[in-house]
Chain A
Amino acid sequence: MLYREALNKALDETMAVDDTIVVLGEDVGRYGGSYRVTEGLYAKYGEKRLIDTPIAELSIVGNAVGMAIGGLRPVAEIMTANFALLAFDQIINHMSKYHYMSAGKITLPMVVRFPQGVSKQLAAQHSESYEQMLSAVPGLKVLAANDVNYAYHALKHAVMSDDPFVFIEHELLYNKKGEVDLKTPVDPFKARIVKEGSDVTIVSYLKMVDDVMAAVPKIEAALGCSCEVIDLCSLNPVDYDTLKASIEKTSRIVMVEEDHKTGGYGAQIVSWAAEEMFYTLDAAPLRIAGADVPIPYNRSLELRSIPTPDSIAEQIIEWGRKNDV
């Protein structure tokens, strides 16, 4: 199954059993979704439940908040992360806060999903990542789906939860193939050990997990080491237990993220490792992240602005040699 098909299946299955679930966003209905995630759902559930909205992101999320207050279970799609910035007032001031400000009297069973990250030459206003801001907002649960099986189960969980979720996808993952085990539920808040290893813990999420995996054979061959690769899956809350167990085994942590390095999400993970795992670590943590530049259009510049399998391998090998890995 493709990643986008897994997301579609998660929506379809939840909508089939709970008729308060509505999907809203730009082109989600008749058109089938910009990335075809909602394909076929309009024909099945009609325009009352697949709501084509105007290009007004503030309202897409703001209306979803109101729908949730009114007893529906909305899933809002934002076409791409940069457009979600127009909805940040609603996400941060309303969606994340009504439950707390009302002392639990208002619940917001809702999901806001969007793809983010560098795709291919979409330039600075269509290529960014905002997990660093959103996971810093108390009251939001933030998931980032790399794996097809995870995407299916985690979206189902989010849709059927009574808490507000931000569900982050990646533009280059929609056609990723993977097996989905329909019968075994997945805990969406548990980090996924993608590959076991004993010498270096490499933590990542979203598309970078695949780039790390592509770099690992090179790293292991060059350093003669074994890497453990962890997909965080949930960016808030973070499954620190899984990270802790891994670092206790490997004594080393490398954080790989696509976003700009300054203020990037990985800083939280490395800061945690420095505070909580300092005496377990045999090497200074390494952070591999994107450059502190707006994403350029030109392909070679674009690829220089983010980590790639080659640059990940290169940096980890250099760090490994300095640190006796």
Chain B
Amino acid sequence: MDKLLAETLYYEMVRGRAFEYAAKEHYMQGNISGFLHLDIGQEALSVGAMKAFAKGDVFSTYREHIMALARGISPKAVMAELFGKEAGVSEGKGGSMHLFDPSHFFYGGDAIVGGHLPNAVGCAYARKFQGEEHGVMAVFGDGATNGGAFFESLNIAAAQKLPLLFLCENNEYAIGTKITRVAPFEKQAKKAEPYMPTIEVDGMDVVAVYEAVSEAQHYLEKGHGPIFVEAMTCRYEGHSMSDANSYRSTQEMALCKARDPIERMKKVLQEQYGMDDNAIESLETKAQNEIDEAVRFAAEAAEPAPEALTVHVFTEGGSHALS
């Protein structure tokens, strides 16, 4: 991996975490409401996957702020969406859980667990139909792997040999229920094994995630059909701001944080790429400034006009006349 890419991965993780802390702060202040699912601790997965899968379509869950940023959507537009403002990426109509930007091929926030998987399958069908080689990535949690939509999607993607990357972010908890209490395995890739090749990766290691997802995308491009990547990860916060995270012990959290993806990458930058503390600090400062600016922008941005209520229920157009 060249130095620039390594720096970028670090920068995106730091910026992502800064974004999440800012979102948390403004949730506590009442500027952000609704359900807010923070991605702190899982930055390596969100950033590594997005940077590796730079060209295809991405369907993700409601824990998608950092993915949206790593995809290239502006922090201002994402923060403004969390604030419910017109300048938000979904003009204040979606909120934290629903960030969509087709210009970045990002169909971010679906808030029905597993509900976006059939959509990703359909999009992969479209891409194959169009002869487009990059394929589609569907990101979902371990909790989604127990539902019917997941199994239907594995089956159809494999039967149709669709270019679809299933990326399971296994943080071991579906809200407060540990995965092993409701599923017979710790690793959910086992469920996909009859259908497609699987790759397991340390989701707290951004370089490893980047490499695994790159490898998986090459596999898609060969036209062999779908592939499954499982990244073991850990979220530091509760499921959402309404979850006090009381079901995990201090010891469990300490073990989790000992694998911190940002600290880990910092070490890589220092040891493998010879970056000094000043250079790293200046990246961190730049990231923080960008987020501070995004918050200012969001706070000052305009509320949606009252008339926006009934806009976008349908398209403006009628039906295309047949020639």
A222 at the interface (CB under 8 A from B): no
Set A54, A103, A104, A157: member contacting B319, Cβ < 8 A: A157
A102 at the interface (CB under 8 A from B): yes
B115 x A93 contact (CB < 8 A): yes
B313 x A62 contact (CB < 8 A): no
Assuming the A-B contacts A13-B322, A70-B57, A139-B313, are A58 and B123 also in contact, with contact meaning beta carbons closer than 8 angstroms in the complex?
Answer: no
Assuming the A-B contacts A107-B315, A156-B322, are A72 and B159 also in contact, with contact meaning beta carbons closer than 8 angstroms in the complex?
Answer: no
A138 x B313 contact (CB < 8 A): yes
B102 x A94 contact (CB < 8 A): no
Query: CA–CA, A130 to B32, complex, Å?
Result: 37
A99 x B322 contact (CB < 8 A): no
A65 x B156 contact (CB < 8 A): no
Query: CA–CA, A94 to B312, complex, Å?
Result: 14
Assuming the A-B contacts A103-B91, A162-B315, are A64 and B101 also in contact, with contact meaning beta carbons closer than 8 angstroms in the complex?
Answer: no
A54 x B122 contact (CB < 8 A): no
A198 at the interface (CB under 8 A from B): no
**Complex interface: chain B residues within 8 A of A14 (CB):** 322
Q: How many residues of chain B get a CB closer than 8 Å to chain A's CBs?
A: 50
B181 at the interface (CB under 8 A from A): no
Query: CA–CA, A306 to B313, complex, Å?
Result: 34
Set B90, B122, B152, B312: member contacting A67, Cβ < 8 A: B122
**Complex interface: chain B residues within 8 A of A59 (CB):** 118, 121, 149, 152-153, 156
What is the chain B residue whose CB lies nearest that of A60?
Answer: B118
Taking CB atoms and an 8 Å cut-off, the chain B residues in 144-159 that contact chain A are: 148-149, 152-153, 155-156, 159
Q: A62-B152, A63-B156, A66-B125 are in contact. List 18 more A-B contacts (CB 8 A).
A: A59-B118, A59-B152, A63-B122, A64-B122, A66-B118, A66-B119, A66-B122, A72-B129, A94-B119, A99-B315, A100-B313, A101-B93, A101-B94, A105-B101, A105-B102, A139-B313, A157-B319, A161-B317
A63 x B101 contact (CB < 8 A): no
Set B102, B125, B321: member contacting A63, Cβ < 8 A: B125
Assuming the A-B contacts A59-B156, A139-B313, are A67 and B323 also in contact, with contact meaning beta carbons closer than 8 angstroms in the complex?
Answer: no
Tell me the A residues contacting B by CB distance below 8 Å: 13-14, 17-18, 22, 48, 51, 53-54, 56, 58-59, 61-72, 74, 89-90, 93-94, 98-107, 138-139, 141, 156-158, 160-163
B313 x A70 contact (CB < 8 A): no
Set A54, A106, A160: member contacting B102, Cβ < 8 A: A106
A103 x B123 contact (CB < 8 A): no
Q: Nearest chain A CB to B108's CB is how many angstroms away?
A: 9
B122 x A101 contact (CB < 8 A): no
Interface string of B137-175 (1 = CB under 8 A from A): 000000000001100110110010000000000000000
Query: CA–CA, A305 to B82, complex, Å?
Result: 51
Query: CA–CA, A64 to B119, complex, Å?
Result: 7
B19 at the interface (CB under 8 A from A): no
**Complex interface: chain B residues within 8 A of A13 (CB):** 322
A105 x B123 contact (CB < 8 A): no
**Complex interface: chain B residues within 8 A of A72 (CB):** 125-126, 129
Interface string of B104-131 (1 = CB under 8 A from A): 0001001010011111111111110110
**Complex interface: chain A residues within 8 A of B71 (CB):** none
Q: Nearest chain B CB to A282's CB is how many angstroms away?
A: 35
**Complex interface: chain B residues within 8 A of A160 (CB):** 319-322
B311 at the interface (CB under 8 A from A): yes
Tell me the B residues contacting A by CB distance below 8 Å: 57, 59, 90-94, 98, 100-103, 107, 110, 112, 115-127, 129-130, 136, 148-149, 152-153, 155-156, 159, 311-315, 317-323
**Complex interface: chain B residues within 8 A of A74 (CB):** 122
Of B102, B110, B319, chain A has the most CB atoms within 10 Å of the CB of: B319
Assuming the A-B contacts A89-B115, A98-B100, A160-B322, are A62 and B121 also in contact, with contact meaning beta carbons closer than 8 angstroms in the complex?
Answer: yes
What is the chain B residue whose CB lies nearest that of A57?
Answer: B152
**Complex interface: chain B residues within 8 A of A90 (CB):** 115, 118
B156 x A53 contact (CB < 8 A): yes
B94 x A54 contact (CB < 8 A): no
A66 x B121 contact (CB < 8 A): yes
The 4 closest A-B pairs by CB, nearest first: A66-B122, A62-B118, A70-B126, A63-B122
**Complex interface: chain B residues within 8 A of A56 (CB):** 152, 155-156
Query: CA–CA, A13 to B119, complex, Å?
Result: 27
Q: Nearest chain B CB to A167's CB is how many angstroms away?
A: 13
Assuming the A-B contacts A13-B322, A65-B122, A71-B126, are A106 and B156 also in contact, with contact meaning beta carbons closer than 8 angstroms in the complex?
Answer: no
**Complex interface: chain B residues within 8 A of A65 (CB):** 118-119, 122
**Complex interface: chain A residues within 8 A of B317 (CB):** 161-162
A102 x B100 contact (CB < 8 A): yes
Assuming the A-B contacts A58-B148, A59-B149, A70-B122, are A103 and B156 also in contact, with contact meaning beta carbons closer than 8 angstroms in the complex?
Answer: no
Query: CA–CA, A99 to B102, complex, Å?
Result: 12
